[in-house]
Amino acid sequence: MGRSRWKASSAMSEDAKELQAVFLEEADELVQEIERDLLELEASPGNHTLVDRLFRYLHTIKGGAGMSGMEELAHVASAAWSRCRTHFSSLDANELLN
Domain count along the chain: 1
With a cut of 90, say whether residue 31 has pLDDT above it: yes
Instruction: Specify the CATH number for the domain of residue 37.
Output: 1.20.120
DSSP annotation of 3 reads P
Q: Are 6 and 48 in contact (CB under 8 A)?
A: no
With a cut of 50, say whether residue 32 has pLDDT above it: yes
pLDDT of residue 41: 86
Secondary structure, 3-state, 13-37: CHHHHHHHHHHHHHHHHHHHHHHHH
With a cut of 90, say whether residue 82 has pLDDT above it: no
Task: Examine residue 2 and state whether it is found in any structural domain, yes or no.
Answer: no
Nearest to 30 by CA among 60, 3, 63, 68: 60
Helix, strand, coil percentages, rounded to 5, for the chain: 75, 0, 25
**What is the band of 1 on the pLDDT scale with cuts at 50, 70, 90?**
very low
pLDDT tens for 45-65 read 778 898 889 989 999 999 999
Give the mean pLDDT of the chain. 82
Task: Examine residue 89 and state whether it is found in any structural domain, yes or no.
Answer: yes
pLDDT of residue 84: 78
Task: Examine residue 77 and state whether it is found in any structural domain, yes or no.
Answer: yes
For residue 78, the enclosing domain spans 15-97
